[in-house]
C-alpha cells in the first residue's frame, strides 16, 4: 500500500498548503493513507481540535506528535482516546495517551507509533523513557495483531539517534520516519532488512523562513542579541515536504520517495 507522510505542518501557511495541495496530491500518488506531523499546526505550538478537524477535512487520516503536541488543552481528550486518529510520543511523561494507534484503511489496519528522541531539549517537568525499550514494548504488545503496515515516527534532534533507531528497527517495521528539524535530509532509503528510513522529512509551511519563523526575528536575535518572540512567516512561497512509502508488509517496504511541492 502507499502511505504519504507529511512533515511538520507549521501554522496557518502549513495548513493552507495542505488544503491547496493534498487533495490532488493524494490522487496523483495513489495514497491509501495520509499521516501528518501535527506538533506545530496551531501557530507553531501544538494543535487544537478545530485545526485537527480542518486537516481531516483536507484529507489527512492520522496525526503523529512531538514535544509540543500536548500543549493545547483541548487536544488532551483526543490524545487519550485510542479511537481518535492522533498520538503523541509514547515515551514522554507529560503526553496523554499510549503513543500508538491502529488506523483502518481499505487495505487493512496500519499501526502508527510516535517516539521522542532521548537527546532532546526538554522543559521543566518533561522527561522521556528510553526510546528503544519503549518501541520494543509497543511491538511486543501488538505482536499477533494483524497490521498490514507499521509506521514509526521518530521525533528527534540528533542524526545519530535517528539513524540508530532506523537500523534497530530494520526488518521489524515497515518504515521509520524522522522529523523535528524542519529541513529534509537526503538519506531516504530502504535499509538492508527491508525497512524504509529517512532521518528528517522536513516541514510544510513558509519556504523563505527560518524553520517557519520570520527571518527578521531570528537574524537580529542572533547577530545583536535582540530580545524578541518568534513570529511565523506567513508570506509565500510555501512548501510541502513529505515521503511516499510503498509497503509490502508490516515489516518491509519496497520504496520510499521524497516529495517536495511549492506554492508561489
- pLDDT of 152 reads 99
Summary mean pLDDT of the chain? 97
- pLDDT of 156 reads 96
Cell numbers that stand for 64 in this block: 503523529
Sheet holding 196-198, edge to edge: 100-105, 108-116, 149-155, 175-179, 196-198, 189-190
Q: What is the DSSP letter of 76?
A: H
SS3 content of the chain, % helix, strand, coil (to 5): 25, 30, 45
User: What number of other Cβ atoms are within 10 A of residue 27's Cβ?
Assistant: 10
SS3 assignment, position 193: coil
Name the catalytic one among 51, 68, 180, 197: 68
Q: What number is the average pLDDT over the span 2-29?
A: 99
What is the percentage of the chain residues whose pLDDT exceeds 90? Answer: 97
- pLDDT of 123 reads 84
- pLDDT of 91 reads 97
Which residue range forms the structural domain that includes residue 95? 2-263
> 127-162: per-residue pLDDT in tens?
999 999 999 999 999 999 999 999 999 999 999 999
> 212-254: per-residue pLDDT in tens?
999 999 999 999 999 999 999 999 999 999 999 999 999 999 9
For the range 104-107, what are the long-range contacts, defined as Cβ-Cβ under 8 Å and sequence gap of 24 or more?
105/1, 105/32, 105/33, 105/61, 105/148, 106/32, 107/1, 107/32, 107/148
* CATH (domain of 178): 3.60.21.10
Question: How many domains in the chain?
Answer: 1
Contacts of 74 (CB under 8 A, 6+ apart): 48, 49
Residue 124 has pLDDT above 90, yes or no: no
Residues in a beta bridge with 238? 206, 263
> 167-190: per-residue pLDDT in tens?
999 999 999 999 999 999 999 999
Residue 61 has pLDDT above 80, yes or no: yes
Q: What is the pTM of this model?
A: 0.97
Burial of 238 (0-12, 13-18, 19+ CB in 10 A): buried
- pLDDT of 11 reads 98
To the query of whether residue 147 is one of the catalytic residues in this protein, the response is: no
Amino acid at each position: 500500500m502507499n502511505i504519504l507522510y507529511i512533515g511538520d505542518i507549521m501554522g496557518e501557511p502549513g495548513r493552507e498548503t495542505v488544503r491547496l495541495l493534498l487533495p490532488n496530491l493524494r490522487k496523483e500518488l495513489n495514497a491509501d493513507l495520509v499521516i501528518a506531523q501535527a506538533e506545530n499546526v496551531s501557530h507553531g505550538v501544538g494543535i487544537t481540535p478545530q485545526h485537527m478537524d480542518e486537516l481531516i477535512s483536507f484529507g489527512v487520516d492520522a496525526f503523529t506528535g512531538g514535544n509540543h503536541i500536548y500543549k493545547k488543552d483541548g487536544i488532551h481528550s483526543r490524545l487519550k482516546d485510542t479511537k481518535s486518529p492522533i498520538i503523541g510520543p509514547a515515551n514522554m511523561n507529560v503526553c496523554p495517551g499510549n503513543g500508538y494507534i491502529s488506523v483502518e484503511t481499505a487495505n487493512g489496519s496500519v499501526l502508527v507509533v510516535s517516539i521522542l528522541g532521548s537527546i532532546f531539549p526538554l522543559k521543566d517537568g518533561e522527561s522521556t523513557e528510553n526510546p528503544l525499550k519503549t518501541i520494543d514494548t509497543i511491538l511486543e504488545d501488538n505482536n499477533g495483531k494483524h497490521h498490514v503496515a507499521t509506521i514509526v515516527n521518530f521525533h528527534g534532534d540528533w542524526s545519530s539517534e535517528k539513524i540508530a533507531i532506523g537500523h534497530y528497527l530494520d526488518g521489524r517495521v515497515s518504515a521509520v520516519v524522522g522529523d523535528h528539524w524542519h529541513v529534509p535530509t537526503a538519506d531516504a532509503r530502504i535499509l538492508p532488512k527491508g525497512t524504509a528510513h529517512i532521518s528528517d522529512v522536513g516541514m510544510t509551511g513558509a519556504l523563505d523562513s527560518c524553520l517557519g519563523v520570520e527571518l527578521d526575528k531570528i537574524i537580529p536575535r542572533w547577530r545583536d542579541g535582540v530580545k524578541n518572540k518568534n513570529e511565523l512567516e506567513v508570506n509565500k512561497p510555501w512548501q510541502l515536504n513529505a515521503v511516499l512509502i510503498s509497503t509490502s508488509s508490516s515489516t518491509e517496504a519496497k520504496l520510499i520517495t521524497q516529495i517536495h511541492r511549492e506554492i508561489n
